[in-house]
Structure 1
Amino acid sequence: MKVETQHHQRSLPPPCPAEAFICGNTVDLIFRETNKTAVVTIMNLDTGEAIHYNVSTNDCSISIDLGNNQSESNYNIELILDGKAYTGEFTTNEI
């Protein structure tokens, strides 16, 4: 009995060069390596308001305070490193 198997090769996207941690109304970005320039934009999806915009150089991490928002909100974060954009959405919980 001959068994044939098919192998499918998939190329996976490289891992994002940063990790984001959310605690209350604070977002911490930890970079896997020091970057020349990082552009971070955070928008409140519920109001359309730009909450944060930052251009930083040679940082290993960035801590972002989203303000004194007392209710649950939905956000979009965009991180641009080395000409590549990484985006994601997150929700803050009620405090």
Structure 2
Amino acid sequence: MKKLTCLITLFLFISIGYINAETMASRKKIKMKVETQHHQRSLPPPCPAEAFTCGNTVDLIFRETNKTAVVTIMNLDTGEAIHYNVSTNDCSISIDLGNNQSESNYNIELILDGKAYTGEFTTNEI
């Protein structure tokens, strides 16, 4: 009986990894950079959030809970601001860019603790 319970538990842990693997494999990371001038020859500080695209959805995952985060997404092809959001105390934000059937170039700006982080990405699959 203990062997059967151990096998069932092991199967559940393995199957959970496969379920999450499909979502993680289909998303693309957006490279974020800080928008400040560096006068020293050192590496810029890491961005306190990671941004990913999956189809027409943008996911922001914060490394720690922030007091206030301002997110702006602009369509670089049209110059139109398509999303603006001020959020407080969030661990993650998911943004749907709509039912755009064509390939579009976007700029994302994230302001955290007075520092601006930007990144560019393209949506081309649905």
Shorter-chain TM-score range: 0.7 to 0.9
| Distance in 2 between residues matched to 1:8 and 1:90, nearest whole Å | 28
Q: Taking structure 1 as reference, are residues 73 and 11 closer, same or farther at Cα in structure 2, changes over 3 Å only?
A: same
Give the Å deviation of 1:3: 38
* TM, length-normalised to structure 2: 0.67
Q: Taking structure 1 as reference, are residues 72 and 82 closer, same or farther at Cα in structure 2, changes over 3 Å only?
A: same
| Distance in 1 between residues matched to 2:81 and 2:71, nearest whole Å | 11
Identity of aligned residues (%): 99
| Distance in 1 between residues matched to 2:33 and 2:62, nearest whole Å | 49
Give the Å deviation of 1:7: 20
- Unaligned 5+ segments in structure 1 are none
Aligned 8 A contact 2:73 2:106 in 1:
yes
* TM, length-normalised to structure 1: 0.88
Q: Taking structure 1 as reference, are residues 13 and 68 closer, same or farther at Cα in structure 2, changes over 3 Å only?
A: same
Give the Å deviation of 1:5: 32
Give the Å deviation of 1:94: 3.5
Q: Taking structure 1 as reference, are residues 76 and 5 closer, same or farther at Cα in structure 2, changes over 3 Å only?
A: closer
Aligned residues: 95
- Unaligned 5+ segments in structure 2 are 1-31
| Distance in 2 between residues matched to 1:86 and 1:71, nearest whole Å | 26
| Distance in 2 between residues matched to 1:10 and 1:52, nearest whole Å | 35
Q: Which piece of structure 1 moves more, 5-14 or 83-92?
A: 5-14
| Distance in 1 between residues matched to 2:84 and 2:48, nearest whole Å | 19
| Distance in 2 between residues matched to 1:85 and 1:4, nearest whole Å | 5
Aligned 8 A contact 2:66 2:90 in 1:
yes
Structure number with higher strand proportion: 1
Q: Taking structure 1 as reference, are residues 5 and 89 closer, same or farther at Cα in structure 2, changes over 3 Å only?
A: closer
Q: Taking structure 1 as reference, are residues 70 and 83 closer, same or farther at Cα in structure 2, changes over 3 Å only?
A: same
